Structure 1
């Protein structure tokens, strides 16, 4: 499969075009997780999709279902990212991952991949401008509390319903109750959605009002981390959903405008 150039301003379609005159011998392979609607959805892999496009590095996509990730990574000698979150023994293999045939290196974990891309391709736009690596690195985790914690009950079921059967089975196994019971309904949905809005309001206070991006006027990897979570929301809940329209409009439309500002990095 050739590179994907994705315009998700109206996220109802996907256009696939190959890089012109690019040999597979030097093209990075980018590993992503597929969905039934054919759209990239994973917030972690979106971070690297943004990063590769921002740095204008040619890549090709290989789609890997959840149960196949471990075997695919082991074949390439790509290291696991952690132990299992539930504390069970054994290495945990996750995506995103990339394999660079030029250096014959495979890397997983979005922050490590982003650092590798800057170190290996310093002549391209930098994801981590000088002296910002320590500042930017925690952003994916920082987002968990104001954003992901209250949003999890909405996004995980919606993600599961988009997955192909092999990956859907894995996601369902992670929850002690059916995903259909995880997703709030009725009055509970109203209350829980208000918590999501409060989380975004808290996050909005981190920004200077005149600055679009986290480090000011210049886009960085931290912005791609935030954009990736917004993209996850937009894809799995639907661009025409009331929920996404809410998110895009909150805080004087900051989040909708923020994601629009990254559209140029959805494709080259």
Structure 2
């Protein structure tokens, strides 16, 4: 099982501050609120909510917080009407970027996102301008010094994974989006805990930045997008992201 070896190079490895963690909790909570409204509060009957609970746990969101968000959404206490919007564009030197937003004010969010792209050497494009370069894939990452590569691979194959890679005590499992929940649940039942577990936009090809100015602009663009309350996810095809 091979062929998907870029995950560790396109994820930013910087340690998150308490403030950034709190922002992640808030963003996941917003997603969960929408999922409860659309499919109900029971994760057994709401696969989207079940996926988000797993995502929340992978990001160390406390169980009490998860329960409180679900109850609040089920009770109709959150009156905000959120809308899913996807923006596509290019960063410095043609780095492809997809921005997934969940907003209660599309004009504000569009203005913010466009401003970030313009300010840091990129440009916001039209729908479809870069998404054809990406494929949705379920990505599950398990880390641990005591992981046995052969055992993990056997368990992943048994669970129905499409791809498996092991390096430096880190196992990366890739699935078809339609198989993601089943594979994650099967591995969870086997006792595994996840560093990350979600459906991601994985690029087919990658772009490398070589000059320091472009790296700085790309870093600032990603920081501004990730810091925006309305932005849920940012996907890109920058290969040397750890150099930012």
Give yes or no for TM over 0.5.
no
Structure with more of its chain in helix, by fraction: 1
